[in-house]
Amino acid sequence: MSSATKAERPNYVSTTNACKLCTPLGASLAFRGVEGAIPFLHGSQGCATYMRRYVISHFREPVDIASSALGEKNAIYGGGPNLKKGILNVMKKYEPKLVGIATTCLTETIGDDVPMNIREFRDEFGDLDLPELVEVSTPSYNGTHVDGWHGAVRSMVEQLCTAKAADAHRVNILPNMVSCEDVRHLQDICRDFSIAATILPDISETLDGPALEDYVKIPSGGTPLEDIQAMSGSRGTIEFGRCLPKQTGGTSLEKAFGVKNHRIGLPIGLRESDRFFEALEQISGKDMPRRYELERGRLIDAYVDGHKYVAGKRAVVYGEEDLVVGLTAFLAEIGVDVVLAGTGARKKGLENAIAHVTDGVARMAPDVREGVDFNDIAEEAETLKPDLLIGHSKGYKYAKAWSVPLVRIGFPIHDRFGGQRILHLGYKGALSLYDTIVNTVIERKQSDSPVGYGYI
Amino acid sequence: MSTTILEERKAQIHRTGEGAIDIACNRESLAGAVSQRACVFCGSRVVLYPIADALHLVHGPIGCAVYTWDIRGALSSGPELHRLSFSTDLQETDVIFGGEKKLEAALDELIDRHNPKAAFVYSTCIVGIIGDDLEAVCRKMTEKKGIPVLPVQSEGFKGSKRAGYLAACKAMFRLVGTEDVADVSPVSVNILGDFNLAGEIWIVREYFRKMGVEVVANITGDGRVRDVGRSHGAALNLVQCSGATLDLAKMMQEKYGTPYLRVSYLGIEDMADSLYQVADFFKDKDPGIVGRTEKLVRDELQTLMPELARMRKDLEGKKVAMYVGGSFKAFSLVKAFRHLGMQVVMVGSQTGTKEDYAELEQITDPGTVIIDDANPLELSHFIKEKDVDVFVGGVKERPIAFKLGVGFCDHNHERKEALEGFVGMLNFAREIHSSVMSPVWNFVPRRANRVAEAEKEAANE
Ligand code: SF4
Ligand code: SF4
């Protein structure tokens, strides 16, 4: 972690096995969490198809992402006409309530003016029953999928919530890139706090839907448009993330409508979950319901019961910046030493965020790395000798090479089943992560031991 | 009212037996149609990726490289450089000032780090726009590093996946003829258009070994740069998969006079027929080859057929829909399904040509839907209309089938099961059988409701 070791590291020009995805993918996922919405990538066909494939492997759900499918001529003369034609076709086929339009590297580079195209489109086709059109600029040479996610959320808030709504006993939650199960858990929590919640986006149903009689064009669920429009009347906004951009959906609502923004970390682990429940108590004016007192108590009880199994284990954690912060906070609490915390994103203040959330509990400060790829992590990890790798599926190759167990958390999970149903948030999420990690350690101990203990 | 099939898409759909087939194909995908198709870059990447001792550097922003990172099951018996994802990860400054310097530096460090036998540099959309001179950078790096550094002009927007195949073939053709061929047997072939998914090329090579045929180069599954360099020494090219490597075979025919045969290793007839064609080609040089081939096929069928017969009992009469990348594969699958007593009722492809579709119309039953460049809504529409029991496709098609309560078999580049050869036919049948016959379909609403209704009607009668 000292600056001396940092200077010694070669600064590679190329990226090998990136630990990030491109910006429009994050935007598409966020748009998928709005009722009646269809994501639309303004670019050439390949990008949309590749992202669909990638997302489908994780969620195992149909993921329709439209594209303006630009060809050579469009790339030279501008993609506006194809964009308009594409929106019309999507309207005909899907009858969406919202089309979430994200640019790609190509359309950013040729300099298409999407807001202008949309204005023209509204003028030209004003006689049709038009869906909401939200646009976000997502050049992938300038950020990662997480930026695309936050950008889309902010665009939706700013472009849809344009008037002050009547005050209501509501809370806005901007949950960051969490799982479908996480969103469902957040819904339950708010219900138990007797406060109506607008969770934006809400992928709990749209990306983890039930078996149905028919193929639905756009899956049901997602944040209703009316709810987004009503966000300006809520009691407060809670946005998860300690590495967020300066301006987000939450700050916009605060600035435009005075909705107080509570920016806290992803509620992973005990202390970060406490922050969340405190915020909810404040906004709802209600004390924490007993069931969460119990969950909290059970979590601490489990921490105690299991602490020896994991004490002093060394973990490498990687993935989305805020997930890494949350996981590191949690691991520090249970006595696991995070030896390296890495993300593919740059300039996110990861080091500060981690110092903040581990303050007072961590046994050591991890080596914090931004802008890493798996090649970098591999070079570090050889000397760090981790006992555990914690992150998404893409670390598998390395886990296998070092013969270290990989605890799969986050996105994407391509080599296991049920990634969309992993619970991370709240006391309950911490408990399930804890069980997973302790059992991973025990399993390793068992398989490494010739004795075969039946009681551990 | 929403429309499932857009007016502009209608010319790309045909039903066997209903008028002369004149399907529109090889078009750009329609904006807003949610095509299942990828891009030129994708086409090049599919073809070249399995060359295991080459460096594959994607010159562009990060996404294009990440999404193609080791997604296929293309195995190597040696080096595994192809399974890593290299990118220049272009940033804003590169886009403004050009990416050539970065590309050069990236090649410099990656070639030093991995010592590849050659490097392929793929251009993506953005590179086409900022106008980096790939050719010049590659020429310079070839000199500096002493290995072939080959540009692949695969800007995504410059056409469809097919255009990517051509770009890949052009890049490979530069390697052909660079190695000595003095020790190549006169009874020798190159395997073109197979990607060694789950080790399939090893199955096929074993057949050729038993027949006494030398395989000079695998192009490109379990491929090696040196083998491609001496592939012009082979007596015959065997081209599988109509789109991917046919261009290379044609270039080799023109320059080196190497004849080619079109083959398929999928299904019983096509596998056997391909081996017989090869035997026939070499029978003057090696009169024993025909006998050896017949014995090989006989032995294989002896174990295969009883197993198939057992599964056929269950599968008889079930209906199949398929959507595959190349239409050539579809020909074999239609025949393979006949062996299982199953009927193909819909068949589509991402990259078929007019000739391909005409041939499909020849071999399919009346009423079969033939479709070019489909999308989820069209696919689900026809699956329902035809009341399909099993769908054959790739990862993107899987959830469409499952949502409709229909069995599924992954038969794309991403599959991890060997489905070629006689043993592959068995795997294939097993996979189809295990999906179609699974009890889970009893609970899927579409089927469950139908059963409930039928029961109600029966009770009322
Ligand atoms: S940017 Fe171009 S090359 Fe890359 S995935 Fe998109 S369409 Fe293909
Ligand atoms: S071009 Fe940009 S948006 Fe498209 S896949 Fe590549 S990185 Fe992603």
Q: What percent of chain B has pLDDT over 70?
A: 99
Lowest mean pLDDT among A21-35, A93-107, A371-385: A371-385
Using CB atoms within 10 A of its CB, is residue B354 exposed (0-12), middle (13-18) or buried (19+)? Answer: middle
Tell me the per-residue pLDDT of A234-284, one tens digit each, with 9 for 90 and over: 999 999 999 999 999 999 999 999 999 999 999 999 999 999 999 999 999
Residues in the ligand 1 pocket, defined by CB under 6 Å: A 44, 46-47, 50, 105-106; B 39, 41, 60, 64, 124-125, 156
Mean pLDDT of B165-181: 96
* Cα–Cα distance measured from residue B167 to residue B124, given in angstroms and rounded to the nearest whole number: 12
Tell me if B35 and A17 make a contact (CB, 8 A cut-off): no
Same domain, B109 and B200: no
As a whole number, mean pLDDT of residues A67-79 equals: 91
For residue A4, give how far its alpha carbon lies from the nearest alpha carbon of chain B (Å).
23
Using CB atoms, which residue from A21, A95, A139 is nearest to B66? Answer: A21
Query: Domain limits at B225?
Result: 188-298
Give me the number of domains chain B comprises: 3
- Per the CB < 8 A criterion, the answer to whether A392 and A375 are in contact is no
> Is residue B433 situated within a structural domain?
no
Distance A105 CA to ligand 1 centre (A): 9
Residue found by looking up tokens 């007596």 in the block? B235
Quick check: is B133 in a domain?
A: yes
**How many Cβ atoms sit within 10 Å of the Cβ of residue A367?**
18
* Inside any domain, residue B348: yes
Indicate if B212 and B161 belong to the same structural domain. Answer: no
CA nearest ligand 2 atom 8, residue: B63
Q: Which of B238, B267, B298 is the last residue of a domain?
A: B298
Q: So what's the pLDDT on residue A7?
A: 44
* A4 in contact with B, Cβ within 8 Å: no
Contact across the interface for A94 and B2, Cβ inside 8 Å:
yes
CA distance B330 to B357: 10
Across the interface, whether the CB atoms of B129 and A46 are under 8 A apart is answered no
Residues B80 and B164 in one domain: yes
Query: How many angstroms separate the CA atoms of B226 and B175, rounded?
Result: 8
Q: Which tens digits make up the pLDDT trace of B370-416?
A: 998 888 899 999 999 999 999 999 888 999 999 999 999 998 877 88
Residue A325, pLDDT > 80, answer: yes
Report yes or no on B447 lying in a domain. no
Q: What's the pLDDT at A455?
A: 83
- Mean pLDDT, rounded, of chain A: 95
Contact B40 A211 (CB under 8 A): no
User: Is the pLDDT at B72 greater than 90, yes or no?
Assistant: no
Token look-up 């997602």 returns A222
Q: Are B184 and B61 in contact (CB under 8 A)?
A: no
pLDDT of residue B385: 92
pLDDT (tens digit per residue) in B303-314: 999 999 999 999
Distance from CA of A432 to the nearest CA of B (A): 28
Domain-ending residue, one of B396, B416, B436? B416
Please give the backbone phi and psi of residue A79, each rounded to the nearest 5 degrees, phi first.
-95, 0
Query: DSSP character for B18?
Result: S
Within this chain, do residues B80 and B147 fall inside the same structural domain, yes or no? Answer: yes
First vs last Cα of chain B: how many Å apart? 37
pLDDT single digits (tens) A155-181: 999 999 999 999 999 999 999 999 999
Q: Does residue B5 lie within any of the structural domains?
A: yes
Token representation of residue B372: 């070019």
Tens digits of residue pLDDT in B308-363: 999 999 999 999 999 988 777 888 999 999 999 999 999 998 878 888 888 888 88
Q: How many residues does chain A have?
A: 456
Largest CA distance in chain B: 85
Whole-number percent of chain A with pLDDT over 90: 91
Q: Can you list the domains of chain A with their CATH numbers?
A: 23-160 (3.40.50.1980), 170-284 (3.40.50.1980), 309-448 (3.40.50.1980)
pLDDT at B25: 82
Do both B46 and B145 map to the same domain? Answer: yes
| pTM of this structure | 0.95
Cβ neighbours of residue B46 closer than 8 Å, sequence gap 6 or more: B72, B161, B164, B165, B168, B195, B244, B325, B413
Q: Does A25 touch chain B (CB under 8 A)?
A: yes
Which atom of ligand 2 sits closest to the CA of residue B65? 6
Q: What is the pLDDT of residue A94?
A: 94
Confidence at residue B242, expressed as pLDDT on a 0 to 100 scale: 66
Over residues A330-358, the pLDDT tens digits come to 999 999 999 999 999 999 999 999 999 99
Percentage of chain B with pLDDT > 90? 76
Q: How many angstroms separate the CA atoms of B134 and B256, rounded? A: 28
Q: What is the pLDDT of residue B1?
A: 47
Q: Taking CB atoms and an 8 Å limit, are B32 and A67 in contact across chains?
A: yes
Q: List the single residue in A25, A52, A213 with the smallest CB-CB distance to B449.
A: A213
Q: Which residues lie closer than 8 Å to A197 by C-beta, 6 or more apart?
A: A170, A171, A172, A173, A186, A187, A190, A191
Query: In this structure, is residue B310 part of a structural domain?
Result: no
Residue B237 lies in a domain: yes
Strand ranges for A30-169 from DSSP E: 37-42, 66-67, 98-103, 132-136
Burial of B184 (0-12, 13-18, 19+ CB in 10 A): middle
pLDDT at A8 over 80: no
Residue A19 and residue A374 in contact, taking contact as beta carbons nearer than 8 Å: yes
Which residues on A lie below 8 Å from B90 (Cβ)? 105, 141
Does one domain contain both B146 and B72?
yes
Q: Touching check for A13 and chain B: CB below 8 Å?
A: yes
Q: Are residues B193 and B165 in the same domain?
A: no
User: What is the predicted pLDDT for the residue at B78?
Assistant: 96
Check B125 against A46: CB less than 8 A apart: yes
- Report whether pLDDT(B426) > 50: yes
Please report, for the domain that includes residue B357, its CATH number. 3.40.50.1980
Q: Quick one: pLDDT at residue B373?
A: 87
Residues B168 and B45 in one domain: yes
Give the pLDDT confidence score for residue A456 in this predicted structure: 81
Please tell me the predicted confidence (pLDDT) of residue A270: 98
Residues B46 and B169 in one domain: yes
Top mutation candidate among B28, B29, B37, B41 for ligand 1, by most atoms within 8 Å of CB: B41
**Mean pLDDT score of chain B, rounded to an integer?**
93
Arithmetic mean of pLDDT, B159-164: 86
**DSSP3 helix / strand / coil % (chain B, rounded to 5):** 50, 15, 35
Q: What is the pLDDT of residue A289?
A: 98
Q: Going along A191-311, which residue ranges are E strands?
A: 196-199, 236-240, 261-264
Radius of gyration of chain B (CA): 23
Res A1: pLDDT: 41
- Supply the pLDDT for residue B2: 66
Span B283-306, pLDDT tens digits: 999 999 999 999 999 999 999 999
**Are residue B49 and residue B99 in the same domain, yes or no?**
yes
- Whether B56 and B24 map to the same domain: the answer is no
B45 and B28 share one domain: no
Counting runs of H as helices and runs of E as strands, what totals does chain B give? Answer: 18, 14
Asked casually if ipTM beats, i.e. exceeds, 0.95, the reply is no
Label residue A13 by pLDDT band (50, 70, 90).
Answer: very high
Q: Which atom of ligand 2 is nearest to the CA of A43?
A: 4
> Residue B293: inside a domain, yes or no?
yes
% of residues, chain A, pLDDT over 70? 98
pLDDT of the residue at A286: 97
